[in-house]
Structure 1
Amino acid sequence: MAATHTYELTVRWTGNTGTGTDSYRSFARTHEVRAEGKPSIPASADPYFRGDSDRWNPEELLVSALSECHMLWFLHLCAANGVVVTDYVDRPAGSMVMDEGGRGGGQFSEVLLRPQVTVADASMEEKAAALHADVPALCFIARSVNFPVRHEPTVRTERRGSPPPA
């Protein structure tokens, strides 16, 4: 029997400015995402949708979840295949297309992951690059979305005595 994992959170709207939602402009889109024993995540809508730019928005969190899931599976595969990763940085980007007609709906058209991976030895570069292709079949988040998640990884060898590239 397959295991089922359940993730329970609390999402609480904190944007009642005194009159609730009596008009589109009368309330803030601020909210908090909480889970037992973890720091809360201050969140809001994208600033384009009257959100607070100082808070995380759902679109950013979706892109982050895809990037994190890819990274964690990739690191697992590297450890299982003798590839020693010493640094990993991703600068993912997601594209969302709004529906025509101004009704406000839309959907992601793609997310591009651009991991920059540093390995301990040049002999590991080719294997590290190849392991990125194995991740999409394993990543829970990527397998759950209905848009392409593309990957453009770069792999380099650690330079002894100097810090990893930023």
Structure 2
Amino acid sequence: MSGVHSYTVNVLWTGAGTSGTESYTSYARDHEVVVAGKPAIEGSSDPAFRGDESRYAPEELFVASLSQCHMLWALQMAARAGVRVVGYSDRAIGAMRIQSVGGGQFIGVTLHPQLTVADEVDEEAVARIHADAHAYCFISRSVNFPVRISPVTTIVAAPEQP
């Protein structure tokens, strides 16, 4: 599994209309994110920047990628630790600062992962799962701002085995 992995994503602008970028208000920010063999993702800019609110903004997808990466590592770490996770959800919140000159950057993301486990588990084990997931997540290791984890664990009765 070691080595370099490559990811090809095609982005196609679909918002040229009849006049293209004749002015800042003359074009739509609509586009499609396409990965070969997968459904397209309809994108636009954030509505604050003249985007279509019914489409995904790159900032939303960026925050989602941090959440997805943490989830996938947390599930792997739980399996390794013998913790039986039967449900997972997250409410990820990203904060971005916009500068007066128009640029900006993310200043932090907080993940609120909720693990649902089938058996009693101590909070130290859950904390280790999240710490290890955070340490291994490729995306959180690649950003230059803090990614905070604020987990919740719910224990449910183990499902009956057939």
TM range (shorter): over 0.9
CA RMSD of aligned residues (A): 1.3
Residue number among 124, 127, 149 corresponding to 2:125 in the alignment: 127
SS at match of 1:122: coil
TM-score using structure 1 length: 0.91
TM-score using structure 2 length: 0.93
Aligned twin of 1:164:
none
Identity of aligned residues (%): 52
Gaps of 5+ in 2: none
Aligned twin of 2:79:
79
Aligned twin of 2:103:
105
SS at match of 1:104: coil
Structure 1 runs, 4 residues or longer, greater than 2 Å off: 123-126
Aligned twin of 2:57:
57
C-alpha deviation, 1:95, in angstroms: 0.2
Gaps of 5+ in 1: 162-166
- 1:111-164 deviation digits (Å, cap 9, x = unpaired): 000001111111355412321011222000001111000000011201468xxx
Contact 2:119 2:157 survives alignment (8 Å) = no
Q: Residues of 1 paired with 2:153 and 2:124: CA distance?
A: 8
Q: Residues of 1 paired with 2:68 and 2:90: CA distance?
A: 9
Aligned twin of 2:30:
30
- 1:69-100 deviation digits (Å, cap 9, x = unpaired): 0000000010111000011010000000011x
Q: May I ask how many residue pairs the two structures share in their alignment?
A: 158
* 2:114 is aligned with 1:116: yes
Q: Residues of 2 paired with 1:160 and 1:8: CA distance?
A: 41
